[in-house]
Amino acid sequence: MTELDRLLDFAARSRLPEGGFGYLLDDGSVDPARGQETWIVARMTHVFGLAHLLGRPGAAELARHGVLALTEGPLHDEEHGGWSASTADPTKAAYVHAFAVLAGATATTAGIEGGRPLLAEALGTWLGRFWDDDAGMAVEEWDAAWTTLSDYRGVNANMHGVEAVLAAADALDAVADDAVGAATELRAHALRTTERVVHGWARERDWRLPEHYSTDWVPLPEYNRDRPADPFRPYGVTVGHQFEWSRLALHLRAALDDPPTWLLDDAIGLFEAAARRGWAADAHDGFPYTLDWDDRPVVVARMHWVLCEAVAAAAALAEVTGQDRYRRLAERWRAHGEERFADPATGNWHHELTPTGEVGTGTWVGQPDAYHLAQMLLLDGRPVRGSLAAALSR
């Protein structure tokens, strides 16, 4: 049994009999207090869609289970459209809608029943409610009825929006001969956002990317200084996002017919800065969650997703550049994860550790997520395409 097999077996335990997927605790049980959360349901649907493309038995049913939850379950707002953040939170967030697009795109590419209608609705909501064409960016959050838009702007949701629309473009290419124009437009959106975030804000600040912005996209470097360990909006430089943007620049480069040369240059620049400044920044092996603007550690907890994204970015750079140095880094960091993070009892990785390797709970409790680890495992040794689903389907 492979590492991916063990992870997927554990992830399948998140299936809720009433529909959707729940938040998994360290013992593999679902936390009933959390209800359903759209980001988890959508990410699990995406993961099982990828598993179906690999031919894993039972994955299609699990992916279909997720599609049904997103189209007919309580997270879907039948009155106003779109998806609530969770069964306890009716707000409409760009972050969760990006994952609804990704789930629909992967389900479509994988041939899961209901995938195409899900993708059509999710894309329509993303483009109609979140995409700001003047800014070339997505706005952040609406109230339940789409009447009040938050003043906050952020690049985390935009990062996942880039991932989602690239996957959507690949899905449209695969299933609809008349969707060439729509796919091209989605890739143009991804390029505009990546150019502003990576080639603009990150490059201008020597690869220290601000995460938080005002309504008119002025950086807010002190945002959440008093809540630095926030799981979605931490203060300072988020090391894992530097790696994630680096990898997404490579996916975007692969998806474009005539990609600008800066996409590879900037992917390397972001990666090298994150690796150099992040690794053992507090004299302990591993990557801390966040750094301040002078590269000093702020939140020193080790998050599994940060290491997964570091490995995935290194593996992608190895494929694109052919340089062994990136392959060696991917192997070294993955070995560190398997030694420190891997939980033999579950097949997943612990989501948070202290700098010395004990399980931590400052930001994350349990092991809710299969998304980052599954993608890390699936990217290894595969060609870089616009999306993982496209790479697997070929």
Give catalytic residue positions.
241, 372
Closest alpha carbon to 70 in 54, 46, 52 = 46
Closest alpha carbon to 245 in 330, 187, 333, 159 = 159
DSSP letter at 219 equals: B
Neighbours of 129 (CB within 10 A): 17
CA distance 243 to 241: 5
Facing residues of 252 across strands? none
| Structural contact between residues 270 and 198, judged by C-beta atoms closer than 8 angstroms | yes
E-state strands within 86-136: 92-93, 131-132
E-state strands within the chain: 92-93, 131-132, 137-138, 141-142, 153-154, 212-213, 237-238, 290-291, 302-303, 352-353
| Structural contact between residues 345 and 6, judged by C-beta atoms closer than 8 angstroms | no
CA distance 348 to 9: 9
What SS3 class is residue 124? Answer: helix
CA distance 378 to 173: 22
- Residue 57's identity, in one-letter code, is P
CA distance 313 to 310: 5
Closest alpha carbon to 300 in 314, 312, 283, 313 = 283
CA distance 38 to 21: 9
